[in-house]
Structure formats: C-alpha cells, structure tokens
Structure 1
Amino acid sequence: MDMEARAHSEHPEALRLWLRLLTCTQIVEKQVRSQLRERFDTTLPRFDLMAQLERAPDGLKMNELSRRMMVTGGNVTGITDQLVSEGLVDRVDVEGDRRAYRVRLTPKGRKLFHEMARQHESWIVDAFAGLNDKDIATLHKLLGKVKDHAQARTEAAV
C-alpha cells in the first residue's frame, strides 16, 4: 500500500497533495531504477554521480560531489571507486593541494553516460505520457510556486 492510500479523508488537501507527490516520485523512481539495472546494469546513485560529472567537464572534488548529490563522502567514495575500476571515471590531482583530487568522466564514461541519459529522458517522458503539453506546463508552473515558497521559508529560517 502506498502512502497516498493510507491518507484518511479528514486530512487537509495539502497533505493529500504531498502524499500524491511522494507516491508519484516513488513510482517513477522505482521504474527508473529498474530500467537502469536492466538496460545498463547500473544503479541510480551511479547515474546521478555521472550526471554531476557531466555538468563539470573539469571534474569535481569529492566534497563538492558529495554536496551536490546530498550524500555522505563515504557513499561517493564507494561509488567512485567502482567507477574508477570500470574505467568510467578517473582521479586527477588538484594543483597546489597534494591532499585533494578531482573526479572526472573518462571518454568511455562520457559515452556511456550519454547513452544512459538518452534512455533516462525517454523513461521520464513516458512517465508523463498521460498528460498533454498544457497539463505538463500547468503542473510545472504550480510546482514552481510550491518550490519558490518552500525555498523562501527555508531561507527565512536560516
């Protein structure tokens, strides 16, 4: 039973919407995880790490990679070690800092990531296939309002 199914009718609409968002996210994420495993024998965290590196052609320091992925350094180290052993990423010394290094995609890793990213996009498009372009634009706009409000509250609390 998903979270949404457990919501009682006396819950406010905002809570029901929150549960619907979480349920949709979980369903789509489960599908993406399954497709990544079946098609590429990889995991979503590995895909996410490679996506971060794709956005930073010069590579990223480990602490920056952890921050961007919102996970601990230990998680990033384990994934990075696997990807290095497969020749998908490499470590490059940071000039002027003997203790630090950058992680970057290798040409092999970049090629694989591009293949995965194309498939990933098609899976996401398929997840929204039940909506027309107007519905998608409206939902995007409304969720943008939610995001802006939540960010403003978070920033005000800091």
Structure 2
Amino acid sequence: MKKDPSLDLLNAAAELGYEARGATGDHAALKLWLRMLSCTNQIEAEIRRRLRVRFDTSLPRFDYLAQLYREPDGLRMKELSSHLMVTGANVTGVTDELERDGLVARSSSPSDRRSWIVRLTPKGRQQFEAMALEHEQWILELFSCLNASAVAQVHQQLGSLRVHVLDKQSGTLY
C-alpha cells in the first residue's frame, strides 16, 4: 500500500509553532485556534519576506498604500491611522518615508487647515498595482493546496466565527 504524502505534511504541521504547544487531550477548538494562529503567522512571515525581497518594502508600507489605493481622493492622516489601526505617529513616519520616495503626496485639507490629506502619486499608484498583482499571486500559490470548495467553506465558517466573536465582545464585560 502506497503511503499518502499529505499525511506526512499533516504530521509535520502538528510539530510546528504554536501547535506543538497543544496536548493530545486538548479540546478541538483549542487545537483549531493554534493551527489558525500558526497558519496566519507563517503566511504573514512569507508575505513579509517576499515583499522585502521582491520590492524592498515592508508589509506596513504595503498596507498603507493599499488603503490609499482604495481612496482615490485620499484620506486624512487620522482616517488613515484608524484604517491601519496604528498610532498617528506611526502613520506620520511612514508618510514621511513614502513622500520622500515620491509614492504619496500630502496636502492641507480645504475644510480643516490643521489636518493633512494623503494621496497616492501616479508613481505610487503604479508601484502599488505591481505589488498588489504579485501579492495576489502569492496568496493564490500559498492557498493552492486547498480546492475552491474548501476555500469557500473555510471562508464561510470563519465568517460565522467572526460574527459569533463580535457578538460575544459586545455582550460581555470583563
């Protein structure tokens, strides 16, 4: 009988990262949580590596450009900070770098002189589009071991989990 190579991969996965911390008798939900965390961390690390090697950029810079790409009229710095879930100081630092590189432009808000609006420059838009195209291919490659049905099912189930967790967050005080 021929050995299934996917079993070797599953056994190897059980020995990696957070999953190795789980005990045999742990609840299935705990094992799932550890596996999800492991997968997320591995994929993020690989995306960070590829962005650095291919584009000499970081994931925070990529995320920043992605937010601006979705908003052709630009965003106020405060809105950008909120979308990225980082402090204003972090956004200011990244904005300074990207402005020096010619990828974003800052202008004062016509309605509030104290706030700045940041927009992608044509160079920034072009560079982000190239990165986003490759990023999409990387994600497809990394998830290629799952068929379309599995991807749809996991997506749906994780959506249900998010709704449940949001419900628990809003209904529970700790």
Q: Could you say which TM-score interval applies, normalised by the shorter chain?
A: over 0.9
1:97 is paired with a residue of what secondary structure? coil
Deviating 4+ runs (over 3 angstroms): none
> What amino acid is aligned across from residue 120 of structure 1 in structure 2?
H
Q: Distance in 2 between matches of 1:149 and 1:88?
A: 39
The one of 53, 76, 85 equivalent to 2:68 is: 53
Aligned length: 158
Q: Which residue of 64, 67, 70 maps to 2:82?
A: 67
User: Does 2:172 correspond to 1:120?
Assistant: no
TM-score after normalising by structure 1: 0.96
Percent of pairs with identical residues: 49
Aligned residue number for residue 163 of structure 2: 148
Correspondence 1:24 to 2:39: yes
- Aligned residues: CA RMSD: 1.2
Q: Distance in 1 between matches of 2:124 and 2:64?
A: 11
1:61, 1:156 → 2: CA distance? 32
- Whole-angstrom distance in 2 between the partners of 1:151 and 1:47: 27
Any idea what SS the aligned residue of 1:58 has?
coil
Higher RCO (C-alpha under 8 Å, 6+ residues apart): 1
Give the Cα–Cα distance (whole angstroms) in 2 for the partners of residues 42 and 21 of structure 1.
26
Q: CA offsets per residue over residues 58-117 of structure 1, 9 Å max, x none?
A: 111111111111111111111110000000001011013111111110000000000000
1:91-130 equivalence runs, <5 A: 91-130=106-145
Task: Establish whether residue 134 from structure 1 lines up as the match of residue 149 from structure 2.
Answer: yes
5+ long unaligned stretches in structure 2: 1-15
